[in-house]
Chain A
Amino acid sequence: MWLPNWPILRLHRSGAASADQPAATVLTERGQRRLACVCPLAAAAGLRVGQALAEARALVPELDVHEATPEEDAAALARLAEWATRFTPLAAADPPEGLWLDIAGCGHLYGGEAALCATIARRLGETGFLARLAVADASGAAWALARYVGGQTRVLLAGEERAALEALPIGLLRLDDRSVAALRRVGIRSIGALARLPRAEVAARFGPLPGLRLEQALGAAEEPIAWPMPTPPWEETQRFAEPIAAPEDLARTLALLAEALGRRLEGQALGARRFVARFLRVDGAVPMIGIATARPVREAGYVLKLLAAKLETVDPGFGVEAVALEAQALGPLAAAQAEMGGRADAGADLAATLDALIARLGEEAIWRPTALGSHVPERAVGRAPPLTSVGWPAQLPDRPLRLFTPPEPIEATAAVPDDPPLFFRWRGRLHRVRTAAGPERIAAEWWRRSPDASRPAHDFIRDYYRVEDQQGGRFWVFRVGLVGVPRWFVHGVFG
Chain B
Amino acid sequence: MRALTAGEVVSRVKSNLGIPWRDTTYRDTFKFGGPETEVRGIATTMFCNFDVVQRAAQAGMNMIIPHEDTYWNDRDDVSIVSGDPLYKTKVEFMKEHNMVVFRIHDHMHSQRPDFTYVGLARALGLDRKYETAPESHRFVIPETTLGALASDFQKRLGARAVRAVGNPNAKVRRIQVGVGYATPAVNDPEVDVVVSGEQQETDGGFDSPEYVLDAVSLGITKGWIMLGHAISEEQGMLEMAQWIKSFTPEVPVQLIRGGEPYWAPK
* A and B assemble together: no
Residues of B bordering A, CB below 8 Å: none
